[in-house]
Structure formats: C-alpha cells, structure tokens
A and B are shown apart, each in its own frame.
Chain A
Amino acid sequence: MATPLLSVTDLQVGFATERGLLRAVDGVSFDLAEGQTLGIVGESGSGKSVTAKTLMNLLPSYARVEGSVMFDGRDVRAMAAERERHFWGVEMTMVFQDPMTSLNPVKKVGEQIAESLRVHLKRSRREARDDAGDLLQQVGVPESKKRLTQYPHELSGGLRQRVVIAMALACSPRLLIADEPTTALDVTVQKHILDLLDELREERGMAMILITHDLGVVKGRADQIMVMYAGRTMEQADTATLFSEMRHPYTEALLETIPRVDMASHSRLVPIPGSPPDAVDLGQGCPFAERCRYCSASCLIDQPSLEQHRQGHACACHAPVGTDAGAAAHAANHETGVTPAGLDMGTFATAVGEKT
C-alpha cells in the first residue's frame, strides 16, 4: 500500500478517575488509505467512540492521549496542540449517532450547513446558501430549497441525519468518521443512509471510518474491519477474510449473538455471558477471558498481544478459533464443564458447533 491517508500507531487514551486510570483505548493501530472504509465494531464501552473522538480532537482536556496520529504526513496531535482549527470540519469530519442532538434546534438548517462554508472556505452569505442547497440535494433531501429555511424539529429523523451528513460534507473532507450513524433510525431509513454514505465515499474518493456495534452493518460496506473490546484491538482484517476465517472468539461470539431473519422462531440465541470488564481494573490477562469459551489457564495471567499470523489479518488470542490451540482449549473446557475463569460451559449448550 502507498502512504496511507490516515495512520494511527499505538494510540492510548486514558482518563484519571478516583479509582485509578481508566484505559479507554489501549494500543490501537491502523492504517486507512484514500477511498477505503474501515469498520470499527464493538460493544458499548469498547473504546470505539473514544478512538473517533481522539481523531476529531473532541476529547476533554483532561484525557491522557499517547501514540501517533498521522494524516497525510501531518501530525494530527501536534495540530491539536496548536489549535489548527481549519483542519477538523474541513479535511476530517464526523457524523454522530443522534441527529437531533448534533443539530442546533434554534437555527435554520440552511444556516447550519452554510456556517462551515463561510467560516472555513470564506464564502459569502449568498454563495454559502446556494451551496447548502446543492449539498442537500446531493444527500437526497427532496425539495431541498424549501428545507433550507426549516428548523431541525420540522424534519424526520432520516432527513435530519441527511442534513448532518450534508454539513459533514460541506468542505469536501478527505476522511469522514461516522459514529453509529444509523442506530437512532428506522430500518428502512438505515439502509438508505448507509447506501448514501457509501455512494458519496465512492463519488468523492474519501476515506471513511464506520463505527457500529452490528457486524451485519459493516459486512457489505467496509474494506477492513477492526473488532474492539475493552479498549483493545481483538481482531483486525479485511472484511472478506474476517468473515471467512474469523479467529477471535469475541468476533465469533458477536456474530452468534445476533438473531437472523433466516433463523427459525424460538431458536435460542447464544448470549455472551457476563458483562464487559471494568476498564479501570483490567487485570493482567485477556480482557475477554471471563466470557470466553476458549479460555485457558494462560489467558487469565498473560495478556495476548495482537499478532499478525498472515498478511493483513491480526488477532490477539492465545487459542484462536479454527486453530489446534483453540480446539484443544475448547475441548478441555468441555471436558471439565467450566472454563479456567469459572464460566459454566452449559451457557453455550446451544452454540453453533457446540456438541453436548
């Protein structure tokens, strides 16, 4: 790959709390080339949004950030220190989950879109307004001229999210970060918004980071996927490889836990037992060990590092799915009925490939 557009190396983000340092992001690295989409997948609290906010320089000042973020040869963190405000919102922009809270309720939609054009690109009021109308049209808002003079509360959720996307695209960014852009929307609208983002990315050749908790959303849309858990990267691969040869037990568990339309009624789902770990007190082992059915004794004391077992596919696990080590750990846990972390294997009795 040529020089990537965005290159994040060993990113660490911590927050000091009364109980100690909360490691929200712990050693995340990835490269993103122009025109590509990276999907970041994980549960709430896995650090995916904090990663995005770090890139966007939206973290509160007390956050402790380490590691390097390079955007087209420029050091993003240095720019943040120098308050280089014509970078965010111009070259790198973000779309948030809830369109209502990311719009100003007392300002007309047209003015909100025009604002960044006027501030960053120094357009006149009239030019900015005309451009705002064109942008709305591009994101598929019907009667775009009329919408310019409306307030956010007059629009439906889907339209609001389109307005937010139009705002993000106003200055022709090279990287768009979409943080759960469709979670607050209806299914029928969801697909339209995701398709729209994909089309715009293709048309403009931008790079995109798509953050979601649903592997199904990124499946057909991302070029690469990074699965995060407790602030760490669990597995990282290009999309096709991830789905055909997934190696991390967490990725597997995430896929199994989602019901599918083609499943029969009342088929028992395979939950991920327990709850995500306390990010202040992660202990020394693998953060997923307590919920993992491939857990072995070493997982509790030794944190697995992210290793590339082949070009473009990395996984942080001692006993990955589909390997001899994984099969052995699984068989051993089956034998005893409990994992070394004390998890009853009966919880998984109905899991796919689980034989009792």
Chain B
Amino acid sequence: MAGSGAIQMRDSDEVVLRVESLVMEFPAGRNQVVHAVSDVSFDVCRGETLGIVGESGCGKSTTARALVQLPRPTSGTVTLDPGTDGQVELTGIEGEALRSVRPRVQMIFQDPISSLNPRRRVRDIIGEGLTIWQDQHPDVDVDARVDEVLRAVGLDPVVAASRRPHEFSGGQCQRISIARALAIDPEILICDEPVSALDVSVQAQVLNILEEMKERFGLTLVFISHDLTVVRNVSDRVVVMYLGKVCEIGNSDSLFSEPAHPYTRVLLASAPEPSTVVDASEAAIGDEVPSPINPPSGCRFRTRCPRVTELCASAEPVMREMGPDHFVACHLPGPA
C-alpha cells in the first residue's frame, strides 16, 4: 500500500490537475500525529472523471479538501494546468492570488442539507459566488445565470429561487448544491460522497445530472465515494485508497475487470451483489482498520491482507505497472 513512486503519472498536455506526493498530517495531542494522507500522487485529464474509493478513514475526503487547500496540505504539490503557460501551483500561492483561482475548482459535499445555509433563499445561495466573481467578470448577469443553472439541474427557477433549503427534499438540495458549484463556471468539480445521503431512487437522478452537467459545461470531475458500484458507474479512472495511501490506480475497465490489489478484491467481494471477477470468499478479512496515528510498517494493508508475507512488513511496496494505465502498489499483486 505504498503509493510511493510516481509511475502512474501521465505526461500529457491534457492533464488539468496534478497532485504530487501529497501529505496531510494532523496533530493528535501528546506529540502524536494522524497520518491522514501519506504520499499520494495522481493526475486528472481534461473531461475525465476520476473516482476515489475506500473505507471511512482512508483519507479520501482529506485528499479532496487538500485539493482546494482546505486546509493546506502538510507537504506535496497540487498544480492546475501543469506544463502549460497558465500553470498554477495552488500549494504555492495564497491570499488574493489563491482566491482568484478558486472559481476554477468547486466542490459539492455529502450532506446536501447542512451544506446550504438554512436562512438564505436559493437565489442568494447560488448567486453569492457570482456576486464575488463579478469583480473579475463585470458583464455577468447574476439573476440570469442563477436561472440558467437552476434549469440545468432540473429545478424551475420561478418556483425554487425564492424558497429556502428546508422546503426541498434531500435530492433537490443536492441539485441546488450542484447548481451553486456550477454557477461560476468551474473547470473542475470535486464531489465528496454526493449521493451517499440520498435514497436509491434519487441517487440515480443525481448521478445522471452530474453526467449531463459534465458534458454540458465541459467539466472534469473528481468523484469520491465509498460505494464501488457508484464509482464504477461514473468514473473513467479509479484510485483505490487505504489508510492514507494509494493501493491501486487505473482505468475503470481494467481495474474492475482485473483487480490486482488484494484490497480492491476485498472491496469487490464485499459488495451486496459481488463482482463476478472475484471469489466471494475473498471478502473474509478482519474489519478493524489500524489507527492512522501508528500505521503499520511496510505495506499499510498487511494487518488485514490475506496474502501477507514477511516482506510486506519490512518493505513498502512501490507502484508498479500491471497493464496499460493500470498500476498497483503490492508485493504480490494479481488474481488470488
């Protein structure tokens, strides 16, 4: 579970977001440190959807927040448009410079109700970003833009704009969150568990809207979820994380048809309707995730791994190539 190594990085002009050796640590008192994200590297190409999947506590949300510098990562770099003239290193700028780049990367959160201010009307919630954005884009008509994004997510502006969040269902609130994120025309949309709090029937509505918006507004998505089936549905490329490290990264088709990391295989076998490429018995692992304060030596997954050997405790596995655009950090990868 190393994630050390950068063999998975692509050298393409199409890369819009590059994350290198991202480390996020939090103090935990008594001189202890929570290693939430440790040396994670990945990149996202224009128009692509990158899925990040893992259990609670694996660092997927922390990674997402580090991308928008909320808070700033302990070390590592996050770069927009790397290798072009417009290259911006988010980790290297602050203050007004960072603020002026923020509209390019927007975020939607898991709980649609708590992420909307209950006292404000929908029009003001969506328009707030625009009124700030106006400094740079004086010709934008705020009301017209709010109407446009509301219509885009399938809400009627006449009915919806003057209401407050409590008058909407969870699915509708999530649409409002999406509209708010889209209002200032971002390039990258980071979705942190956007459908986990929704009912199954509404989940499909929201996923379909995200796909539509992606096409219509030319978005690049980073999609975080603990649900493999959802990630499978939306992603072009998938990152599997465990305890702050990347286990496996690759294009969606080969990762799901030939999962190489034992942890990915466990996840696939644990789904309510398990994937056919893994054996149901592969789900049998202990359910205790070790503490990120004292992560295991070597491979972080070794305490729960069915294939563990002595090597796993002493050496941290380095990313290696399993096939075209399919990389894994494991000493003993491949089918069981």
Contacts and interface: CB of A to CB of B under 8 A. Distances in A.
Interface of A: 43-44, 142, 156-159, 186-192, 213-214, 216-217, 219, 253-254, 257-273, 275
Contacts of B285: 188
Given A187-B271, A261-B273, A262-B275, A271 B208 contact: yes
Is chain B's interface secondary structure helix, strand, loop, or mixed overall? helix
Given A44-B199, A216-B273, A156 B289 contact: yes
B49 to A, nearest CB: 8
Contact of A253 (B201, B208, B211): B201
Nearest to A193: B287
B226 A186 contact: yes
A261 B204 contact: no
A278 to B, nearest CB: 11
Binding site secondary structure of chain A: loop
B270 A191 contact: yes
Contact of A271 (B201, B272, B276): B201
Interface string B191-207: 00000000111111101
A158 B286 CA distance: 11
Given A269-B207, A271-B204, A272-B201, A263 B227 contact: no
A254 B286 CA distance: 32
The 8 closest A-B pairs by CB, nearest first: A216-B272, A272-B201, A271-B204, A269-B204, A259-B233, A271-B205, A261-B275, A186-B55
B272 A217 contact: yes
Nearest to A258: B200
Contacts, number: 114
A128 to B, nearest CB: 26
Given A187-B227, A217-B272, A266 B199 contact: no
Interface of B: 55-56, 169, 171, 199-205, 207-208, 211, 226-230, 232-236, 252-253, 256, 266-276, 283, 285-289
Nearest to A155: B288
Given A214-B200, A254-B200, A257-B203, A187 B226 contact: yes
A268 B56 contact: no
Contacts of B288: 142, 156, 158-159
A118 B252 CA distance: 54
Contact of A261 (B56, B211, B229): B229
A275 B202 CA distance: 8
Contacts of A188: 55, 266-267, 270, 283, 285, 287
20 contacts: A142-B288, A157-B56, A158-B288, A187-B55, A188-B266, A188-B283, A188-B285, A219-B273, A258-B200, A259-B229, A260-B229, A261-B228, A261-B268, A265-B234, A267-B233, A268-B211, A269-B207, A269-B233, A271-B201, A271-B202
Contacts of A217: 272
Contact of A187 (B201, B253, B270): B270
Nearest to B236: A265
B200 A261 contact: no
Given A219-B272, A260-B229, A266-B234, A275 B171 contact: yes
Contacts of A262: 275-276
Contacts of B273: 216, 219, 260-261
A263 B233 contact: yes
Contacts of A190: 270, 272
Nearest to B256: A261
Given A259-B229, A268-B211, A189 B171 contact: no
B278 to A, nearest CB: 10
Given A188-B266, A275-B171, A259 B230 contact: yes
A187 to B, nearest CB: 5
A92 B90 CA distance: 57
Contacts of A258: 200, 204, 229
Contacts of A156: 287-289
A191 B228 CA distance: 14
A11 to B, nearest CB: 23
A188 B226 CA distance: 10
A259 B232 contact: yes
Nearest to B269: A191
A265 B200 contact: no
B204 A272 contact: yes
A263 B233 CA distance: 7
